[in-house]
Amino acid sequence: MGHPQWSRRHFLTGCAACAAAARCPALGAKSSSATAASTDKTVLRLVFSHIPPEKPTWPYQGFDYEKRKEELAARLRQACPNVEFRPATALNVEDAKKILETDAEVNGYVIYMLGLWTGAGRTIAAAGRPALFVDDLYGGSGEFLIAMSEAKRKGYRVAGVSSTRFEDVVQAIRNFEVMKHLSKSVILDVTDRDPSANARPIEELFGTKVIRITGPEINEAYGKAEQAEAKKAAARWMKDAKKIVEPSPEEIEKSGAMYVAMRGLMEQHKSRALTIDCLNLYYGGNLPAYPCLGLFQFLNEGNVGACEADLQSTITMLLMAYLTGRPGYISDPVLDTAKKQIIYAHCVAPSKVFGPNGPASPYHIRSHSEDCKGASVRSLLPVGEMTTTLKYHPILKEVILHQAVVVANIDEDKACRTKLAAQVKDVNKIVTEWDRHGWHRVTYYGDFKRPVEQISALLGFKVVEEG
């Protein structure tokens, strides 16, 4: 069945495509007036730092800084059409302070270090503004290294690029767009519990609004769900499934109605992400159908569907959807130290792990594992691929991260339906941090360690590697 027009176009098509094209792709497209704010350009102060050209220093005495500034500004504008760059020059600390005084409206700073030694980057970083330091190689290299090391040590909101690939600068600038779009986004939290302890830090640190939807509200939406649409969704899931084991067509149609209900609430609130307290609501008799197939569908469409009203995993999935264009797989852990493997287990997983326009993996439709009721998914995901698993913890202001290579889809009837086994570098280290960051993690196909490190630095989050 179709999905709302807003659901895909507000998400990226993938950072690999972005790097290849050396562009900052649009995070939003033309939309209704209710979502028009999300299409506004990201405003960045582009600071070129260098001392006067008559002084001897790197790159060399008499260097034509003006020509270099014009060249770089033109390339950045062409590569990042959704960013408004506001150029300025800082020859010293006083210039940097004057720039800061006039910049209440900018979303961040790109500080291109063309020469040595101005102190401008350190001054802006110390003001607590999110900043990207860029070394114009053989020009600002010494100041870049000193300013970056100090910024990291002091916990400033600074990321850095020192590379001959212009695409690396473009990719890093995209983080500012992701941050702005997070600040314009909405998460629906379907729960009868008070979500404020986790919702408040998300709203404060990311600017993302969290709206609570109660059990009676989701049930009302379920009762009003268009049955023809529900049957259409169920028919497509059954047709595309490699195998259907326990659930009857009627049970899968109930999942279709739940999908239509959740989708309607997302449309109503202009939301790109929904998480639902599925276990507590279902076990308590307050949810007529499991949402697993609907969440599976959201992930394949390019939206965020997260289990168990886990707001920390949901903000992680929303951030990564903007950053990578790929869906995350929220899961519970199982360790097999004999094989040096971690198994990511859950009853919801996408089949399009490379994004909405990527290839689809086969899947089975099963019952939900713990109570053997309802309908859920066992996805058979690609092997031999690098994955990045992480979760943002807004209360701790940390992001926990590890990487592993997928080796198998485990066929075991115990525990959750999808079981993705991956080879991790240090399986024993995994147990040293897990309790501090909660039960769930979110797995992505691809090597996203560097992009995560960069955006985390701009957000002021510490990256903790757990394996």
Does 341 lie in the same domain as 198?
yes
pLDDT at res. 104: 82
Residue 34: pLDDT band with limits 50, 70, 90: very low
Q: Which pair of tokens denotes residue 71? A: 């060249």
Beta bridge partners of 403: 388
Does 265 lie in the same domain as 146?
no
Cα–Cα distance between 242 and 249 in angstroms, integer? 15
Beta bridge partners of 144: none
Residue 13 domain-assigned (yes or no): no
Residue 206 domain-assigned (yes or no): yes
**pLDDT tens across 355-400, in order?**
999 999 999 999 998 898 999 999 999 999 999 999 999 999 999 9
Q: What mean pLDDT is predicted for residues 408-437?
A: 89
Residue 439: pLDDT band with limits 50, 70, 90: confident
Whether the pLDDT of residue 465 is over 60: the answer is yes
Cα–Cα distance between 296 and 376 in angstroms, integer? 9
Q: Which pair of tokens denotes residue 240? A: 């595309």
Whether the pLDDT of residue 37 is over 60: the answer is no
Weakest-pLDDT range from 16-25, 58-67, 117-126:
16-25
Residue 193 domain-assigned (yes or no): yes
Give the total number of structural domains in the chain: 2
Residue 18 domain-assigned (yes or no): no
Does 189 lie in the same domain as 113?
no
Nearest residue to 436 (alpha-carbon basis) of 464, 407, 416, 460:
464
Residue 287: pLDDT band with limits 50, 70, 90: very high
Q: Which pair of tokens denotes residue 131? A: 């900043």
Does 232 lie in the same domain as 174?
no
Does 269 lie in the same domain as 335?
yes
Which helix (H) or strand (E) element contains residue 99?
A: helix 93-101
CATH number for 321: 3.20.14
User: On the CB side of 288, how many CA atoms lie within 13 Å of its CA?
Assistant: 22
Q: What mean pLDDT is predicted for residues 313-326?
A: 98
More confident residue, 20 or 309: 309
Residue 224 domain-assigned (yes or no): yes
Does 139 lie in the same domain as 72?
yes
Last residue of a domain, one of 181, 202, 233: 181
**pLDDT tens across 97-142, in order?**
999 999 988 999 999 999 999 999 999 999 999 999 999 999 999 9
Nearest residue to 132 (alpha-carbon basis) of 454, 461, 392, 463:
454
Whether the pLDDT of residue 23 is over 60: the answer is no
Nearest residue to 252 (alpha-carbon basis) of 221, 309, 296, 283:
296
Residue 16 domain-assigned (yes or no): no
Residue 14 domain-assigned (yes or no): no
Residues 6 or more apart whose CB falls under 8 angstroms from that of 321 comprise: 11, 12, 272, 273, 302, 303, 304, 327, 328
Q: Which pair of tokens denotes residue 288? A: 């007529």
Does 265 lie in the same domain as 120?
no
Last residue of a domain, one of 181, 197, 216: 181
Does 335 lie in the same domain as 254?
yes
Q: What mean pLDDT is predicted for residues 162-176?
A: 98
Tell me which residue range forms the domain holding 193: 185-465
pLDDT at res. 14: 36
Cα–Cα distance between 209 and 201 in angstroms, integer? 11
Last residue of a domain, one of 181, 196, 223: 181
Hey, how many other C-beta atoms are within 10 angstroms of the C-beta on 39?
Answer: 16
The alpha carbon dihedral of 161, 166, 168, 172 has a sign of: positive
Does 105 lie in the same domain as 206?
no
Residue 431: pLDDT band with limits 50, 70, 90: confident
**In terms of DSSP H, where are the helices of 225-340?**
227-240, 249-268, 278-283, 292-301, 311-324
Whether the pLDDT of residue 36 is over 80: the answer is no
CATH number for 58: 3.40.50.10940
CA distances from 388 to 206, 422, 447 (A): 21, 11, 6
The dihedrals phi and psi of 399, each to the nearest 5 degrees, come to -120, 125
Residue 333 domain-assigned (yes or no): yes
Does 193 lie in the same domain as 177?
no
Does 430 lie in the same domain as 310?
yes
Return the percentage of the chain with pLDDT > 70, whole number.
92
Cα–Cα distance between 188 and 193 in angstroms, integer? 13
Does 236 lie in the same domain as 161?
no
